[in-house]
Structure 1
Amino acid sequence: MDDDLSSWAPQAAEAEAGHAPVPASAAWRPGDHPGRRQFVDIGWLPLEGDPRGGIDVTLAFETWGELNAARDNAIYVAHAFTGDSHVTGGWWSGLVGPGKPIDTDRYYVVSANVIGGCQGTTGPAHPNPLDGKPWGASFPYVTLHDMVTAEARLADHLGIDAWALVIGPSMGGMRALEWAATYPERVRAIAAVGTTAATTAEQIAWNAAQSAAIRLDPAFLDGDYYHLPDGHGPHRGLGIARAIAHTTYRSEPELDARFGRHVQDGDPLRLEGFYAVESYLEHHADKLARRFDANTYLRMLHAINTHDVGRGRGGVDTALGRYSGEALVLAIDSDRLYPLSNAERIAAALPQSGGVTLLHSDIGHDGFLVDSTGLNDAVAGLVERVAVSA
């Protein structure tokens, strides 16, 4: 394979497969069909790193079930890095839904797309109120604290004084911890799944490679690419970023067992064809490019890189020590992105968690999506410990 971006990309196989060209951005934009999304204008939101101080924000969110009269049965589900508000019937259907551990017949379940996202909430693809054009490069970089501040505004809008549970995997787990540190009185239980209390140097290093892949795509145009026609946006860089990330989401033994050194087509020795694992990564690159946005990807990387729940609070132990509610800290034994040591640090700061609940999965970090039995049992046990009114 050649070394230039054009040879490794979602576009590379699309003509052969008969797919439509990849859009410059797959972000949801005002005027698109809302689906199940609801919207709330939460007004001016202060942002930690924005020299302007903040921006006006509209949040896109979804709800399932009914809020009871006591308003104490609300559960917030915080999505992961490239996730969205569509939880049940979407990315976490094994855990959330009628009769599931988070039972939407019993609980009022809420999930919102984060600020800076690309699935309905104000983000880089949205119109800048100054000129009506997409924000693009001028959209501010946000932190997980900013995201949780926005989520708290949503809780206010819904009349929820305290969540029965805030749960999330990966970046969502980081926000569950941020909720516990920022609003300990507004959370009766948290579940931090496959995550960390502070992003490590290695995790930042993986993110740096992903960021570079996007920024070095000539079609990225420093973030102002929304005017480009389908097939001409920064989907190559975005796809490579996804391939790097997806490798960290899976374990080495799982990849080797599934693909080994199998050649899918041609003879790689002669620089013709490719290995099966390369085809697998290209498939996931194509899928993400068709549902996500490169500017949002960069802002999510920044939010994760700057994540340290102890920042400005005297350290992780002090920050989480203010929280006295129920806690579940869950790790996956094959997770090489957020390994067991990350979970152990969280559990040490949250003694009420009873330590780390360690799940076995051959898959790696993505085990929280694929191998759900142990996760479901652990979450069901936590939910039963959180009393709600009838």
Structure 2
Amino acid sequence: MSDPRFGQNRRITLPGPLRLDGGALLSPLDIAYETYGTLNGDASNAVLVCHALTGDQYVASNHPVTGKPGWWTRMIGPDKPIDPARDFVICANVLGSCMGSSGPASINPATGRAWGMAFPVITIRDMVRAQAMLLDHLGVRRLKAVVGGSMGGMQALSWAATFPERVAAAVIIASTARHSAQNIAFHEVGRQAIMADPNWRGGDYYDGAPPAAGLAVARMAAHITYLSEAGLTEKFGRRLQAREAKSFGFDADFQVESYLRYQGLSFTDRFDANAYLYITRALDYFDLAEEHGGTLANAFRDGATRFCLVSFDTDWLYPTRESRVIVQALHAAGAAASFVELSSPFGHDAFLLDSPELNRVVDGFLKTGAPR
């Protein structure tokens, strides 16, 4: 039986060009990716796993920077819903990110220096088109399934809308078909924190100190949206951090303050500030209905993809009502769609945490076509 810890880490340079939604042509195109398992003879067992905003291709193997296990080892592995003994699992670092795929931190072949803010602005659909080019290279014409949570779910939706003939099934977890004004507002706070850091220097910081302070604040603000009020209260409440009384200063008096500062600082060790700007902008531009004449159902009328949608009752970043909008559009388009709302105290991040019910739902859908 295959062991997902021994994933194949690869990087490919494709000649392109990739035409972006913004009008630019990107060529050549680097894509870093990992695979687990073996593609079968008729190339019918490929499962594409799409990562979220701050994720990467190390979905089920140790991260080379942090040393931590892959971000979805709960979902991928022997006898798990996505099993490399059965499935050929692919996870690619998205376009615009910073773990080997083309992005602002990669080298612009025209200048020999990092792209910085000269890198073209991208969209979720651009990320999907880049993944399609990778699958062409791997000899995968049709996916058994595309699976993703959060931004990964947006990619899964975009896959089904952009390449309906290439997707047999799609699993969309804790996601949405468009970013709300509130989503955009939180991202703008993070972007402004980065750009206000004097080390940002208009994005041209690769030969010096990075804007770590600004990126840490951006991560802190975003991380709050990934949690629930009940979860924060249960985990931290108003408990003080390593002290008996308030300091009457601006140190981290409360445990929740210390936690957020740690999350912010640790994030700067593995992520690029410009990449954060670009990917959050791609998320904010995402509006699947707008891409299809203003009607979400139009995005799904031309395909035979089966869909499974999952939401969490404490997720206020992409709440259940957003999933219901997608389900209604799928039904209007005549698509086969299953939906379940799961209960969890962990908010949006529930899809990354231990959730036997989520595993049961995904396992049932991938094996039988419907949640069990």
Instruction: Give me the TM-score of the superposition, normalised by structure 2.
Output: 0.90
> Cα offset for 1:53?
3.2
Alpha-carbon contact 2:306-2:337 (below 8 Å) kept: no
Alpha-carbon contact 1:177-1:320 (below 8 Å) kept: no
Quick one: which amino acid aligns to residue 357 of structure 1? V
Quick one: which amino acid aligns to residue 43 of structure 2? R
Question: 2:364 matched to 1:381?
Answer: yes
Corresponding residue for 1:187? 167
CA distance in 1, matches of 2:84, 2:8: 15
Q: Among 57, 70, 92, which residue is 1:85 paired with? A: 57
CA distance in 2, matches of 1:341, 1:185: 28
CA distance in 2, matches of 1:154, 1:386: 26
Deviations 1:316-375 (A, max 9, x none): 111123332211011011001000110001111223454521111101000001132111
Q: Report 1:264-279 matches (<5 A).
A: 264-265=241-242, 267-279=246-258
Instruction: Give me the TM-score of the superposition, normalised by structure 1.
Output: 0.86
Q: Which runs of 5+ in 1 are unaligned?
A: 1-34
RMSD of the alignment, in Å? 1.6
Corresponding residue for 1:23? none
Quick one: which amino acid aligns to residue 383 of structure 1? L
Corresponding residue for 2:262? 283
Question: 2:199 matched to 1:219?
Answer: yes
Question: 2:232 matched to 1:252?
Answer: no
CA distance in 1, matches of 2:298, 2:205: 43
Q: Report 1:84-163 matches (<5 A).
A: 84-89=56-61, 90-163=70-143
Q: Among 27, 37, 48, which residue is 2:21 paired with? A: 48
> Cα offset for 1:214?
0.8
Alpha-carbon contact 1:265-1:273 (below 8 Å) kept: no
Q: Among 350, 353, 363, which residue is 1:367 paired with? A: 350
> Cα offset for 1:109?
0.4
Question: 2:148 matched to 1:171?
Answer: no
Deviations 1:167-194 (A, max 9, x none): 0010000000000100001000000110
Corresponding residue for 2:4? none
CA distance in 1, matches of 2:366, 2:201: 47
CA distance in 2, matches of 1:168, 1:237: 28
> Cα offset for 1:41?
1.9
CA distance in 2, matches of 1:386, 1:110: 21
Corresponding residue for 1:333? 313
Quick one: which amino acid aligns to residue 46 of structure 1? R
Deviations 1:124-169 (A, max 9, x none): 1111111211111211111011100001111111111100000001
Count of aligned positions: 349
Q: Which runs of 5+ in 2 are unaligned?
A: 1-6, 62-69
Describe the SS at the equivalent of 2:47: strand
Corresponding residue for 1:61? 33
Quick one: which amino acid aligns to residue 262 of structure 1? R
Q: Among 314, 335, 344, which residue is 2:324 paired with? A: 344
Quick one: which amino acid aligns to residue 106 of structure 1? R
Describe the SS at the equivalent of 1:142: coil
CA distance in 2, matches of 1:355, 1:36: 33
Corresponding residue for 2:274? 295
Corresponding residue for 1:263? 240
- Which of structures 1 and 2 has the larger relative contact order (alpha carbons within 8 angstroms, sep 6+)? 1
Deviations 1:279-333 (A, max 9, x none): 0001111121010000000011011000011223122111123332211011011
Moved more, 179-188 or 268-277: 268-277
> Cα offset for 1:273?
4.5
CA distance in 1, matches of 2:327, 2:247: 46
Quick one: which amino acid aligns to residue 223 of structure 2? H
Deviations 1:214-270 (A, max 9, x none): 111111111010111xxx320111000000010000001111111111121562434
- Change in 2 beyond 3 A, CA 1:272/1:139: closer
Alpha-carbon contact 1:348-1:355 (below 8 Å) kept: no
